[in-house]
Structure formats: C-alpha cells, structure tokens
Chains A and B, each alone.
Chain A
Amino acid sequence: MSRLVLDRLGRMYGRAAAVADVSLEIDDGELLVLLGPSGCGKTTTLRMVAGFVAASSGDIRLDGSSILALPPYRRDMGLVFQSYALFPHLSVARNVAFGLEMRGMRGPALAARVAEMLRLARLEPFAERLPRQLSGGQQQRVALARALAIRPRVLLLDEPLSNLDAALRGEVGRDIRLLQRESGLTTIMVTHDQDEAMAMADRLVVMRDGRVQQVGTQQDLYERPATPFVAGFIGRSTMLPGTRAEGGVFIADGAALRLAGRYGGNGAGTLALRPERLSLAAADAAGPGSVAGSVELASYLGAVREHVVRIGPTLRIVVRDSTAQGGGLLSAGTRVTVRWDQGAERLFDAADAPQPSLNPEPTDPRMTADD
C-alpha cells in the first residue's frame, strides 16, 4: 500500500548539514527505526517526512510520487510525539475524533470509528476524561489511537517511549508494535535508545552527524557493524585503537592481542570486542583470540558478572559473562587471559572500513566456542 522512499535527502542550516544524503527505502508495513545520538539528524529526517522541515536537497516519494510540495496537513501522516502532544482542552474521545472531523466525518460513522480506536487502544473507560487526568502511558496510547484513527499512509513515531518510566516503556512499546502490525502501517520511528530500537524495529538505520552509518536488521548491526561507531553504539563494544602486526597480532597501547580471525593487510586500525562474547581463562591459556591482563574491577550484576581487565597502561577490556555457571568474582590483581572467538571481534582499517576475516564465516558464532 505505502512504500516510502527517501532519495538523497538533505537539510542545511546555514552552512551546517543537519542531514546529508540520506537514502532509505521503507517497505509497505515495515517498521524502520532511525537510531543515533542526539544531533545525529534522525529527528530532522522525520520532520522532513512529516513536512515540518523543508528539505534542502533530495526527494521524498510515497508510492512513487513526491510529497515534498505537500503541506503537513495534506500528507496523511500519523504522528506520535515524545510529549504526547494531546489537545489539553478536549476529552480523550474528542482527541481521537479530531483527525476524522478534519476529514469531514460526522455522526454515527465518526462515533463508530472513535469507539473502535478506543477499544483497540484499551481506552474505553477513559473516553470522557481530559488528557491531564491520565497517566503517561495512557496519554501515549491516546496519541497513538488519534494518529491511527485517520488510517494514515505512514506512521511517524518521534521518541514515543522516552517520557515513560521503564515499566511502562515495554508495555506501550508492545502496544505500538501490535497496533502497527495489525494495521500493516509503514512506520518510521526515531529513538536514541538502542534497546528500544532493537525491540521495535524490522530494520534499523544508525545515523551520526546527519549521515547514515548503516542500515540493516538487528543481527546485521550487531554481528557485522559497518563502522567503529556502529560497533560501539550497538551493544557497546570495547573499542581498541592500534596497529595490525604480522602473525595475526593487534598491538594496542603496548599490549599484544592475538586475533581470532585471519585478516589481510597491516597498518593502523580499530579492534571492537563484544564484552558479552569474551571469557576469562587462566593466565597461561594463550592462543588465537586472546590477550593477557589483570583484573582491575569486578562487579556482580545479577544475571551477569562484569570484569574490567587491564591489558595495557591505559587500556581496559570489559568482560561480561553469565552467572548461570556459578562463577564467582575474581579478585582485583588476578592475572588472567581474556579469550574470544571470531564472532566477538570486528576489525576496522584506518579508514574505518570493516575488514573481512579470511576464515570461513561461521553460521552461528556461538557454535564455534571451542574453535
């Protein structure tokens, strides 16, 4: 029904580019999440799609035709804001009815559609309340029902969960996901929270400084980050800048790390290590995918334990592993070897391009634990 294409979209503020050269295709019924730190251009991109910010360059096409010339009220976009943005003087039912009234709907048809939306959003008991008499989660469900009531061609979600407390976040997030799936709506969501993004998205777009860093599924971004930024932002890798030397060794701050994979070429680069895919072994357990160090800090976090291992004068690696095996905490100063396999590491060259391993890529990295 609705296929949205952003074609080399750009927005300048003075001489600074808030958004540069963003090209994306959002399939019918897909939920695409724009993810990135504040100032990365994700909200500006969303506001260009909604029509509140004019594009400086590029095009936005909905089902093949450009919508750039349309004002916001002609774009048929359902918008949900971080601040809910409900009409404070109107009841819940009147809020939901607003867009339908703007389309000239009256009488029984209007009442039936409003009732249906209130039921879907589990808001029936609150129909006559004013927004300020509702909790944050309920208010956001009103905003969602109001946006969906008009059967928009595209649903735009601007940090919809950020104002909610942690317990409600999951609940409202599931509500949004279910309603979006049921109505098969093409959706763009903007967030800075990677957990939220991972939980909601069909595909994700990581943005930084107005540019797209990587587009892909959760697994693409986690297993095959395209840039050191993505590796650090998704799953919070430990990033080690250094130099690749002969014999599969990576030198960082004087420490020699033996890489698990085999890579061509030498020179400066960055090594990203996933804390949750590292393990601690005895001090003499060297081999591919290892580095020696000493425990500096250990914390028990419930499901996982976390060791900060110092491998160089200023370099530390975080090792996070499950407490299910009953391992206790190692005391500070213990000499250890940090071990990992190929799925835990990602090597980038000096130009931040990811280096493919020459080893055959394992289908599931966890199957190769004792490689």
Chain B
Amino acid sequence: MPTDTALPEPFARLQRGLVATLVIIGAAIIGVPLLLTLYLSVFDESIIVFPPHGYTLHWYGRILPEFGGALRTSLETALAAVAISLLAGVPAGIGLARHRFRGRGTAAMLLLAPLTVPGIAIGLGIYVFAVMIEERTGTALSGSVGLMVAAHVLITLPWVVRLCLAALANHDPAAEEAAASLGAPPWRVIWRVTLPAMRGGIIAGALFAFIVSFENLEMTLFLTAPGVTTLPISVLQYLQYHIDPLVAAVAVVQVALVGGALLLLDRLVPVARVAA
C-alpha cells in the first residue's frame, strides 16, 4: 500500500484506524441481523418475546413439514432454470464473444436486459401475458411449473451469458486459431479449447443463476399457485399469520445454503476476477 508509506506516521495510524472502524461497522451491519436471526431461531417460545424462557432446536425440525413442498419447488425450479440457462447461455456467450454478425448488439442487449428491469415488472408482465394466452388458447399457463421455470430462466440467463462473456474476454482467441491450425475441426476447438477456458465463468454463472432463482421473491409473487409455491413466497405467506422462531430457522437454513454455494464458488473460481 503506497499510501501507508507516503503519509507521515500519525496520519497513517489515523488512516488505518478509520479503515478498521469502517470494516467493523460494515461487518456489524451484515452480521448483527444474521446473528439475531440465528439467536431467535432457537427461542423456546411460540411468539417472539424477550427474554425467552428457554432455548430449543425443535423449530428446525418443523421446517420440512411446514416448508418441504415449497423448498422442493424452489430447488426444482432453480435447477431447471440453471440447466436451461447453461444450455442457452454458454453457446450464446461463445457466439457473442467470438463472432461478428448482424443483430449482434441487439441480441446481446436482449440477453442482458432482464438484469435492468425490476422483478415486479417482469412478474406482472409475464402474468398478464400468460392470462392473455390462456384466454385465447384455453391452455392453463399461469400457476404452472413450466411458466415458473420459464420466468426464472429470464432472470438467470443474463448471469450465465454475462459471466461467460467475461471469461472469454480474458481468453486469447488466437488459442482457438492455433487449435484449428493443429487440425481441430470447429466443434473440437469448442470442446477442447473454448469450453475449458470458460470453465470458471460457467461455474460462476451457474451458481449465480442458482442463487438468483432460489432467492427470487418479487417476480415469483405473480407466478405462484396452490402447490406451486417457492420457499421465499411460502415464508412470506407464513409471516402474514405467524411471527414465531420457525421463520428465523428457515432464514438461517436459507442463508446457510446460499452462503455454502458462494463459498464453494469462491473455492472453485476467484469470483472477483470472473465477475469483474
């Protein structure tokens, strides 16, 4: 850190102190609600009162009976959305990064645009669109798993495309030409050179896509139906009638799942580099 050596000693100490204070404040803003949630989730109370009479882990046991179906829908939706996003997004990323064609700018914009539209607007739009189709064709669309997955692909695909583009931006296209000159036909160039070079971007894209889908609330609000409800929606509905430590326990599990995914991601690929 050149600034450390450039500043006179008292200022340098002041600067280090300021940085440390800011780091502590930041960590507290993130950490305190998490710790409170964790604390609440072990209260042995049916409504949240302070101080609690005792502590228990039995709320965690009630997660699956209460939210099992929603958790399953969430996981299935997220996994399907990730799979479809990879199948469409990886080739799209290669095409956008490696080829110049008419309509390339428009295609790139359309693929990345959902990132900039509020989830509420997307959800409402899809819902209205689905109802219009239903009225004209008579097929049940709204409230179906298919529509839910399609909507989630809309918000997960941009992440896959974007991270694939970032991975290829750091990759020298000459390596692909070298492979071709060495006798590799185009599909083998992609399989042996391009895809391995994108590995980090693909993994990061898949995990980001999973998290975005798994946590989505605003858009999904418009797409649920009895039996087709994701975990965040289910928690929201539960909160309307109960305020008990069960919700805190669910939140802890959800944070653990997403946090685990992020940790895994960070081990496999330095996120900061890929997402930059």
Report which A residues bind B (CB closer than 8 A).
50-52, 71-79, 81, 83, 85-90, 98-99, 102-103, 143, 146-147, 150, 156
User: CA of A203 to CA of B42 in the docked complex: distance in angstroms?
Assistant: 83
* Additional A-B contacts beyond A73-B186, A78-B181 (11; CB < 8 A): A52-B180, A71-B180, A77-B181, A81-B177, A83-B174, A85-B172, A86-B178, A87-B179, A102-B182, A102-B184, A146-B178
Report which B residues bind A (CB closer than 8 A).
171-172, 174-175, 177-186, 188, 192-193, 196-197, 199
B194 to A: closest C-beta gap in Å = 10
> Could you tell me if B178 and A81 are in contact, using CB atoms closer than 8 angstroms?
yes
B28 to A: closest C-beta gap in Å = 40
Please judge, given known A-B contacts A89-B197, A89-B199, A102-B188, whether A81 and B183 are in contact too, CB under 8 Å. Answer: no
Find chain A residues with CB under 8 A from B182 CB: 73, 98-99, 102, 146-147, 150
> Could you tell me if A79 and B181 are in contact, using CB atoms closer than 8 angstroms?
yes
Find chain B residues with CB under 8 A from A78 CB: 181
> Could you tell me if B172 and A83 are in contact, using CB atoms closer than 8 angstroms?
yes
Please judge, given known A-B contacts A79-B177, A79-B178, A102-B188, whether A87 and B183 are in contact too, CB under 8 Å. Answer: no
B177 nearest in chain A by CB position = A52
Find chain B residues with CB under 8 A from A146 CB: 178, 182
Find chain A residues with CB under 8 A from B197 CB: 88-89
> Could you tell me if A102 and B183 are in contact, using CB atoms closer than 8 angstroms?
yes
User: CA of A203 to CA of B196 in the docked complex: distance in angstroms?
Assistant: 40
> Could you tell me if A99 and B199 are in contact, using CB atoms closer than 8 angstroms?
no
Find chain A residues with CB under 8 A from B186 CB: 73
User: CA of A99 to CA of B193 in the docked complex: distance in angstroms?
Assistant: 12
Please judge, given known A-B contacts A73-B185, A102-B188, whether A85 and B180 are in contact too, CB under 8 Å. Answer: no
Find chain B residues with CB under 8 A from A79 CB: 177-178, 181
> Could you tell me if A86 and B181 are in contact, using CB atoms closer than 8 angstroms?
no
Find chain B residues with CB under 8 A from A90 CB: 196
Select B183's contact among A86, A89, A99, beta carbons within 8 Å: A99
> Could you tell me if A50 and B177 are in contact, using CB atoms closer than 8 angstroms?
yes
User: CA of A89 to CA of B193 in the docked complex: distance in angstroms?
Assistant: 8
> Could you tell me if A85 and B183 are in contact, using CB atoms closer than 8 angstroms?
no
B174 nearest in chain A by CB position = A85
> Could you tell me if A89 and B196 are in contact, using CB atoms closer than 8 angstroms?
yes
User: CA of A76 to CA of B181 in the docked complex: distance in angstroms?
Assistant: 7
A52 nearest in chain B by CB position = B177
> Could you tell me if A73 and B181 are in contact, using CB atoms closer than 8 angstroms?
yes
A355 to B: closest C-beta gap in Å = 44
User: CA of A150 to CA of B184 in the docked complex: distance in angstroms?
Assistant: 12
A86 to B: closest C-beta gap in Å = 7
> Could you tell me if A72 and B178 are in contact, using CB atoms closer than 8 angstroms?
no
Select A72's contact among B172, B177, B199, beta carbons within 8 Å: B177
Please judge, given known A-B contacts A81-B174, A102-B188, whether A87 and B181 are in contact too, CB under 8 Å. Answer: no
Find chain B residues with CB under 8 A from A75 CB: 181
> Could you tell me if B193 and A73 are in contact, using CB atoms closer than 8 angstroms?
no
User: CA of A102 to CA of B177 in the docked complex: distance in angstroms?
Assistant: 14
Find chain B residues with CB under 8 A from A83 CB: 172, 174
> Could you tell me if A87 and B177 are in contact, using CB atoms closer than 8 angstroms?
no
User: CA of A51 to CA of B193 in the docked complex: distance in angstroms?
Assistant: 19
User: CA of A79 to CA of B180 in the docked complex: distance in angstroms?
Assistant: 10
> Could you tell me if A87 and B193 are in contact, using CB atoms closer than 8 angstroms?
yes
Find chain B residues with CB under 8 A from A98 CB: 179, 182, 184, 192
Which of A83, A85, A98, A99 has the most chain B CB atoms inside 10 A of its CB?
Answer: A85
Select A88's contact among B175, B181, B188, beta carbons within 8 Å: B175
User: CA of A85 to CA of B175 in the docked complex: distance in angstroms?
Assistant: 4
B185 nearest in chain A by CB position = A73
> Could you tell me if A87 and B184 are in contact, using CB atoms closer than 8 angstroms?
no
Find chain B residues with CB under 8 A from A147 CB: 178, 181-182
B168 to A: closest C-beta gap in Å = 13
Q: Name the 3 nearest CB pairs between A and B, nearest first.
A: A99-B182, A85-B174, A102-B183
B175 nearest in chain A by CB position = A85
Find chain B residues with CB under 8 A from A102 CB: 182-184, 188
> Could you tell me if A143 and B181 are in contact, using CB atoms closer than 8 angstroms?
no
> Could you tell me if B183 and A103 are in contact, using CB atoms closer than 8 angstroms?
yes
> Could you tell me if A87 and B180 are in contact, using CB atoms closer than 8 angstroms?
no
Which of A75, A76, A98, A156 has the most chain B CB atoms inside 10 A of its CB?
Answer: A98
B178 nearest in chain A by CB position = A85
> Could you tell me if A73 and B184 are in contact, using CB atoms closer than 8 angstroms?
yes
Please judge, given known A-B contacts A85-B172, A86-B175, whether A72 and B181 are in contact too, CB under 8 Å. Answer: yes
B270 to A: closest C-beta gap in Å = 14
A79 nearest in chain B by CB position = B181
> Could you tell me if A73 and B178 are in contact, using CB atoms closer than 8 angstroms?
no
Find chain A residues with CB under 8 A from B192 CB: 87, 98
User: CA of A73 to CA of B182 in the docked complex: distance in angstroms?
Assistant: 6
User: CA of A75 to CA of B177 in the docked complex: distance in angstroms?
Assistant: 12
User: CA of A81 to CA of B180 in the docked complex: distance in angstroms?
Assistant: 13
A81 nearest in chain B by CB position = B174
Please judge, given known A-B contacts A89-B196, A89-B197, whether A72 and B180 are in contact too, CB under 8 Å. Answer: yes
> Could you tell me if A85 and B177 are in contact, using CB atoms closer than 8 angstroms?
yes
User: CA of A73 to CA of B192 in the docked complex: distance in angstroms?
Assistant: 14
User: CA of A83 to CA of B182 in the docked complex: distance in angstroms?
Assistant: 16
User: CA of A72 to CA of B182 in the docked complex: distance in angstroms?
Assistant: 9
